[in-house]
Structure 1
Amino acid sequence: MLTLGVDLAAADKRTAMATVEWLPGRAVVRDLILNVDDVRIVEAGGHVDKVGLDCPLGWPEPFVALVQAHRLGHVAVADGEGAQWRRRLAYRLTDEVVREKTGIIPLSVSADRIAHAAFRCAGLLAMLAAAGHDVDRGGGGRVVEVYPAAALYCWGLAHRGYKGRGQQVQHADLVTALRDAAPWLDLGMFEGLCRCSHDAFDSVIAALNARAAAIGLAVQPSDDQRPIARVEGWIALPTGPLSNLIHGADE
């Protein structure tokens, strides 16, 4: 099995992509590149079993309805419901599930700067679909939405404080912690890149998360949640320890 992890930024710069091969008893990072464009992501997606995209795959349905209503001048807010109304506009169903299960509050795709990456992602999903890939925003197809910070939390690893300027030590410590927790993961020649770039590191985590989704070790939407997940996107939270990812690898 091959999985692809993409840490998607608004532009090619800061976008990283990792390919992980799953073998008996081990997993090997076969490729890890920075500054990746959409064409390269689509091409790589055609050679793997599952693609983990670190980016919201859609917007909250109430937010979409608001934009349409606002265009026509028909927005109405019930008395005393302003705060809850705004929260429904800002957070998707999957964001609320992540918050409930991990305590982590995902960035709002309708109210935070991550929307810029989501704009790009919308076009990328269309390109993947046009290339013949099964794109199901609920995670049932080749593409699945992942959230590295939440995945790290689920796997018992540090999920905050390793990004940004002045965080090189914390970031390097996290790579060491990952190696200790997953001795079967071979970073090979890409270990140095993982240590110096959190974008590269996150793309590897996205590829691991894609593996969890591919083998049924990630939270899936319920029958009631699935129709919304297929529109808004669904974050595939891992449901077991890192060691479970290596079980059932291809012989």
Structure 2
Amino acid sequence: MLTVGVDLAAEAADTAVAWLEWSRTGARVSRLVTRAGDELVAEAVLAADKAGIDCPLGWPDKFVDFLLAQREGLPLPSGAGRLWRRDLANRVTDLVVRDLTGQRPLSVAADRIGYVAMRWAGLAAELARRGQVVDRRGSGVVVEVYPAASLKWWGLPFTGYKRAANLAELNRLVDALHRPAPWLDLGEFESVCRASDDALDAVVAALTARAAALDLVTVPSPGQLESARTEGWIAIPTTPLAELMSHSEGGPRPGEHG
């Protein structure tokens, strides 16, 4: 199995892609590229059995409806306050992740991550042109991931390792990652992971993609499926990291969450 992790940014300079090859005895990072452009990202996704994308795959339905109503000058709710704005800014999956993990995904409607989602929208269109239609619910090759939530679920450090000023924390995270996953071989790319949080997040995204490929992640409930179809769905692992090697592909799907 080949899983790919993409730590997507608005520009290639801050985008990393990791290729993770799985065997019966371990997982090996076979390639890791920083400063990844659109063509490389598209080719990586097309080659993967499962690809974890660290980026919102869609916008909140209520936000889209709001934009359409505002453009047409239609009446908006009177006395709309903080809770109304929260519902505009957050997707269903964002609220589920917050409830499950305590982590708050950035709002694609109200934060700068919207620029990243715009880039992804173009990539998704290109993938469709090449025959790989993206199912935003995660049931196809592509699944939306959130490395911080995956790390927190796995009991690993999940904050404080971003940016060059925090290289010591990044190195501690790499050390911590090896303890539950001695079967993970970073090989020649370990130094890159110790120097670039983008690179390490791409590896975590590829690990989460493995969990998704084994059906060991959260999935939308029946009532959430329609929102997930348009807004996207963040897959959170439901198994310890150490167990990713002990499950075979196509295992039983855990109970639905949310």
**TM-score bucket of the superposed structures, by smaller chain:** over 0.9
Aligned residues of 2:54 and 2:144 also touching (Cα < 8 A): yes
Displacement, 1:172?
Answer: 0.5
- Secondary structure in 2 matching 1:104: coil
* 1:43 to partner: Cα distance: 1.3
Corresponding residue for 1:121? Answer: 120
2:238 maps to: 239
Letter paired with 1:219: T
- In the TM superposition, residue 249 of structure 1 has moved relative to its aligned partner by 5.2
* Cα distance in structure 2, aligned partners of 1:55 and 1:75: 32
Tell me the alpha carbon deviations over residues 13-37 of structure 1, each in whole angstroms, 9 at most, x when there is no partner: 1100000011012111110001111
CA–CA separation in structure 2 for the residues paired with 1:186 and 1:9? 25
Please state how far the C-alpha of 1:245 moved relative to its aligned partner.
1.1
2:253 maps to what in 1? Answer: none
Match of 1:211 in 2: 210
Counterpart amino acid of residue 230 in structure 1? R
One-letter amino acid matched to 1:149 = A
Distance, in Å, in 2 between the alignment partners of 1:47 and 1:90 is 34
Kept after mapping to 1: 8 A contact 2:156/2:173 = yes
Q: CA deviation at 1:165?
A: 3.5
CA distance in 2, matches of 1:243, 1:181: 5
What is the deviation of 1:248?
3.4
- Secondary structure of 1:6's counterpart equals strand
What is the CA-CA distance between 1:38 and the residue it aligns to?
1.1
Q: Which residue of 2 aligns with 1:93?
A: 92
Which fold has the larger relative contact order, with Cα–Cα distance below 8 Å and residues 6 or more apart in sequence?
1
Q: Could you tell me whether the CA contact under 8 Å between 1:23 and 1:249 is conserved in 2?
A: no
- SS of 1:118's equivalent in the other structure is helix
- Supply the distance in 1 between the matched residues of 2:164 and 2:34 (Cα, whole angstroms): 18
- Deviation string 1:67-95 (CA, Å, 9 cap, x unpaired) is 1011011141243x411110011110000
Structure-2 residue corresponding to 1:15 = 15
Is the partner of 2:223 in helix, strand or coil?
A: coil
Gaps of 5+ in 1: none
Amino acid at match of 1:11: E
Q: Return the alpha-carbon distance in structure 1 between the equivalents of residues 162 and 121 of structure 2.
A: 25
Amino acid at match of 2:51: V
TM-score scaled by length of structure 1: 0.97
**Please, what TM-score do these two structures have when normalized by structure 2?**
0.94
Give CA deviations for 1:32-77 in whole Å, capped at 9, x if unaligned: 0011111111112222100100000000001001110110111412
Aligned Cα root-mean-square deviation (Å): 1.1
Following superposition of structure 1 onto structure 2, how do residues 22-171 of structure 1 map, counting pairs within 5 Å? 22-79=22-79, 81-171=80-170
Compared CA separation, residues 249 and 187, structure 1 to 2 (3 A) = farther
Deviation at 1:180, TM superposition (A): 1.4
Q: Aligned residues: percent identity?
A: 52
CA contact (8 A) 2:59 2:108 kept: yes
Q: How many residues align?
A: 249
